[in-house]
Amino acid sequence: MRNFNRFAAGVGLAAGAIIGPGAGGEYLPFPEASVAHAFDDNKVQPGEKLCFSVEGNPGDVAVVNLTPVRAEGPGYGLLHSSDVGASLASNVNYKPGTVDPNVAMAPIGVDGKVCYTNSNTGGMNRVDLVADHLGTIAGSVFTFAQPNGEPLRRVDT
């Protein structure tokens, strides 16, 4: 899959989708629109779930670049479907003074959204978040690790 990411003025922008073999594999650009961001007084709080709309159909897979910035303490976050709660996994880790982007994938919920859930480590891990929707993979051509779309941890040392 190609990365058709756009970024402007500190706000994540949706870029496009690559439609599977049944549709010829063409790239379909999305209209520019803010996907998700939290800045200044709108930091994502410990344990908070921030849901946002993405292009695609329920059950398709949203590919999102998550960039936590200006963290007040160490923490982690998880991208997941709006249909399920966050599991005990991490897509992105952060600490004060770092910018730590990572690409994550999650099934699109029946409401057309995916969610970022911030860790609740008991400390001050409030963080600003930029989420860029990079594209969408048709659910018919993607196999989830678990039927509910949650990650399946294979190693934990």
| DSSP states of 50-75 | EEEE-SS-TTSEEEEEEEEES-SS-E
Cα 72 to Cα 59: distance, rounded to the nearest angstrom: 34
Residues facing residue 13 across a β-bridge: 6, 34
Report if residue 31 sits inside a domain: yes
Query: If pLDDT is split at 50, 70 and 90, which confidence band does 3 have?
Result: very low
Measuring CA to CA, how many Å separate 114 from each of 41, 91, 105, 107?
A: 22, 13, 9, 7
What are 36-46's pLDDT values in tens digits?
A: 555 556 899 99
Burial 79-106, CB ≥16 within 10 A → b, else e: bbbbbeebbeeebbebeeeeebebebbb
Query: If pLDDT is split at 50, 70 and 90, which confidence band does 13 have?
Result: very low
Report if residue 15 sits inside a domain: yes
Report if residue 74 sits inside a domain: yes
Report if residue 127 sits inside a domain: yes
Report if residue 154 sits inside a domain: no
Give the helix/strand (H/E) hosting 113.
strand 113-118
Q: What CATH number is given to the structural domain containing 43?
A: 2.60.120
Report if residue 108 sits inside a domain: yes
Half-sphere exposure (CA, 13 Å, Cβ side) for 102? 15
What are 103-155's pLDDT values in tens digits?
A: 999 999 999 999 999 999 877 889 999 999 999 999 999 998 888 777 888 88
Which of the pair, 157 or 34, is modelled with greater confidence?
Answer: 157
Structural domain count, the chain: 1
Structural domain harbouring 95: 6-141
* Contact (Cβ atoms closer than 8 angstroms) between residue 72 and residue 119: no
Task: Report the pLDDT value the prediction gives residue 21, as an integer from 0 to 100.
Answer: 47
Which of the pair, 151 or 16, is modelled with greater confidence?
Answer: 151
What are 55-74's pLDDT values in tens digits?
A: 999 999 999 999 999 999 99
